Every structure is written in C-alpha cells, then in structure tokens.
Amino acid sequence: PKDYTYNVKIGKDNAAVGNVNVTNWSTGSVIKGGDAVTTTENALLVIEKALAANKKNIEITLDADAGRDVLKKIKDALSSADDGSIELTVNGVETLCAEAFLKCTQLKSINLPNVKSIGQSAFYDCYNMEAVNAPNATSIGDMAFAACSRLRKVTLGNISKAGTKIFDLCDTRSSIDLVLSGDQRKMSYNYTETGWEPDPDGKNYKNSSEHLKCDFLGYRFKSISCGDKKYNLYS
C-alpha cells in the first residue's frame, strides 16, 4: 500500500489539485460504469414518472428512425392511462412507421414537430384523439387517420404525397379544421400510383377553387386554412 497527498480546489470553471490524503492505496478490481440509457428507455421512464404523478401532458424524445417495436413500447407504457386523457409530444421522430399508434385510445392529442412522413394506418381507430399537429409532414399513408371519429383539428405541412382513405370514418365536414402550409400545391389523384400528388400545373392550393370549397384529398372539411387564408365550408 502507498500513501498519497493531494490538495483539490474546485472553482467555477476548473479544479486545482493539492492536499488530500489517500492512504492504503492498493490494486483492486476495475469498477465498470453502467450501460448508457437509450433514448427509448429514457422516454419510457418519462412516461412512467408522468403517469405516476397523474400528469396528462407528456413530452418525449425518440430517435429519428424509431420503428414499430419502439412505438409499441410507447403505446404499452401509455396503456394504463385513462382513455382520451394523454396530450403527447414526440420529438425527434422523422418517419412515423405504419400502425405507429394504431388504436391508441389513450391519446387526446399528439404533437409531432419533426415528423416528415406519416405511415399507413398510423393513427387508425384512435377514436378519442381530437388534434394532430404535424406541421412538417409532407407524406401521408393510406388510412392514416381513418376511424378517428373525434378528430377536430389537423395541422400538416406541404403535402407532396398522400395515399387513400386517409380520413375515412371521420366527420370531416362537420368537425375537422384542416391547417395546411401556405406553400401547399393543388393535388390530383393518380390512378396509376393509387394516391394523391401535386398537380402537374404546379398551381398553389391557396385561394384555388378547391380551397374555396374546403376540398382536399377528396374530402370536404369544416374549414381549411392555407397560410394566412382560411375558408369555412358553411359560411
């Protein structure tokens, strides 16, 4: 064993070493640090703590490419919450996989600030969900919001690709206010590709005849805002 003396002075921005006695110094086993906590594990911990504290507004961060297995863990973690009670923000994710929140009845609203693509049936039968905020989404898969019967507001980005039956079994005419990017172009149905794509003429959707009729992707909406211009179906 050996003895050492150090003196440690710790300041705001640095530390100086000087007089601390270290006695009976000997060789021992290496103490290994624990594994790093993954983004998914941290998100699950955030949900667990929020629900334990009876908090309904929950914000988590996931990897940009978080897949179905990760989203299933998130859904399972929310399963003990009351139906229609959770206001969830998911940061980081850019591609929301197919069936990501399928039948997640606990959702009241979801905020997806980084999502660019919403997969097929991503929110199918989330019948308690009232609001979706995905301001950077440019692609929407088939039946993404189908059977979301209580949906009231949907905010999307500049849509350049969309599937079919996106809002089936939703009361779009009476209930849903749709918010689109001011750069949104008119969309037309491509029967070959079975989906919607921007019109070849490249005309803007804002103030178009479709906008005036609150018509988008084959549905009529209660209202549609495109940039700073809003039209209501029944006014």
Q: Is residue 15 part of a domain?
A: no
**Domains identified in the chain, total number:** 1
Statement: residue 3 has pLDDT above 80: no
Domain of 98 in residue numbering reads as 57-232
The pLDDT tens digits for 139-148 are: 999 999 999 9
Q: Is residue 143 part of a domain?
A: yes
pLDDT, residue 220, reads: 98
Residues 6+ apart with CB under 8 A from 54: none
Q: Is residue 23 part of a domain?
A: no
Q: Is residue 177 part of a domain?
A: yes
Two tokens, residue 17: 């070493």
Statement: residue 29 has pLDDT above 70: no
pLDDT, residue 31, reads: 43
- pTM over 0.75, yes/no: yes
Average pLDDT over residues 77-99: 98
Q: Is residue 111 part of a domain?
A: yes
Instruction: Dump strand ranges (E) for the chain.
Output: 2-10, 15-25, 57-61, 86-91, 95-96, 107-111, 117-118, 131-133, 139-140, 153-155, 161-162, 177-180, 187-190, 195-198, 215-216, 219-220, 223-226, 229-232
Q: Is residue 1 part of a domain?
A: no
CATH number of the domain where residue 170 is located: 3.80.10
Q: Is residue 76 part of a domain?
A: yes
pLDDT, residue 15, reads: 53
Q: Which residue has the higher pLDDT, 82 or 31?
A: 82
Q: Is residue 12 part of a domain?
A: no
